[in-house]
Structure 1
Amino acid sequence: MTHYQAREDEVRARIAEGLVYTETDAAFLAPARRDDEIFAYNHTPPSDGTERVRLLGEILGSVGARPVLQAPFHAAFGSNVHIGDDFFGNVNLTFVDDVEITIGDGVMIAPSVTLTTTGHPVHPARRADFGRFSEPIVIEDKVWIGSNVVVLPGVRIGHGSVIGAGSVVSRDVPPMTVAVGVPCRVVRKITDDDLTTRTATARFGAG
């Protein structure tokens, strides 16, 4: 094993453990970025659905059947994002995917949502050379995320849950619940009563 390979392996291990690493540490990951392909996607006419699907296949780590992703969208890499079948993402969706973002089937995401796997240390000395840490995000099947939501590193959102507009999700959300707020908290379970209502909750729409 070469010195450079040993160094890469060390940095990958630090990233996987959620430890702080720097821009210089992670420079070898740059070829995994899909900046040009994302630019091309965002400038492809909406009527050319075939080309958009082709480009998504080049950009994302994996993509299921019948994806809809409205332009523009943004990603740190793109190649660390995995989406399932029947995905719908509205405009200005941002993936900060320094590590993996995994999205299940039937997920709907409203405008101007940010999914960020990466944060930064509190002390400024540890932010030298863009010091940061990364933890994967998992969004399970049939989740609905409202407008202007931010999902923070390491969060899992459970099957069927609804995240209300404007929420900041800093901890896991259980399946089949409505969660809202800053910080985002569960306000109730989703039940069969919701089959006859218009909104997720009387007080908070998902957006």
Structure 2
Amino acid sequence: MKKEEFQSLFTELTDIRENPFHPLVWIGGEPEIGKNVYIGGMSEVNAKGAKVVIGDNCDIASFVVINCTDSHKRTIGLSEEIERKDIILENNVYVGTQSFIGGGVHIGHHSVVGAGTIVREGNYPPYSLIVGNPAVVKEGYYLKKMEENE
């Protein structure tokens, strides 16, 4: 079976529509995705009901979830609505495998999210290394590395 045939059948059987990245990348809503972006297989980008922006030259590894929604308050009866918040990844951001980027996150350019990191609401400055659960931010980590290479 050719890739095009697989994608057509897969789209017909699921709600995962065709995309330019990988047949097994789920994209919901209408995220703004820049130029020269890679999104690995089994990743999800959910932009239903909020603005999700992935800048130019970003690399999103496999098994990554970028999800603007949070339904826990609705599930336990604290709200009648699903919470939806914007997500922005500026240019040249790398997101490592099996990471989660939640609603209300803004990651500055030239930053790295380490594998397995859970990134919750907040502003993360450019050139940061973001790792762990809960996420620890090493501000300017990659700026120093770039200056060392000059």
Q: TM-score range by the shorter chain?
A: 0.7 to 0.9
Identical columns (%):
23
Partner of 1:144: 94
Residue 172 of structure 1: how far off its partner (Å): 2.2
Instruction: Spell out the pairing of 1:25-36 with structure 2 (5 A cutoff).
Output: none
Question: Higher strand fraction: Structure 1 or Structure 2?
Answer: 2
Q: 2:127 aligned with 1:163, yes or no? A: no
Tell me the equivalent position of 1:96.
46
Deviating 4+ runs (over 2 angstroms) = 191-197
Structure 2 gaps, min length 5 = 9-17
The 1:41/1:114 distance shift into structure 2, 3 A limit, reads farther
Instruction: Tell me the amino acid that sits aligned with residue 56 of structure 2.
Output: D
Larger Rg: 1
CA distance in structure 1 between the aligned counterparts of 2:119 and 2:78, rounded to whole angstroms = 24
* TM-score of the superposed pair, with normalisation by structure 1: 0.57
Between the two proteins, the alignment pairs up a number of residues equal to 134
Q: Distance in 2 between matches of 1:41 and 1:133?
A: 37
Deviations 1:93-131 (A, max 9, x none): 101212121111100010100001011217712366xx3
Higher fraction of helix: 1
Take 1:93 and 1:136, find their aligned partners in 2: how far apart are those partners? Answer: 18
Out of 63, 70, 81, the position equivalent to 1:112 is 63
Q: Residue 90 and residue 127 in structure 1: after superposition, are their counterparts in 2 closer, same or farther (change >3 A)?
A: same
Alpha-carbon separation, structure 1, partners of 2:6 and 2:87: 24
CA distance in 2, matches of 1:135, 1:165: 23
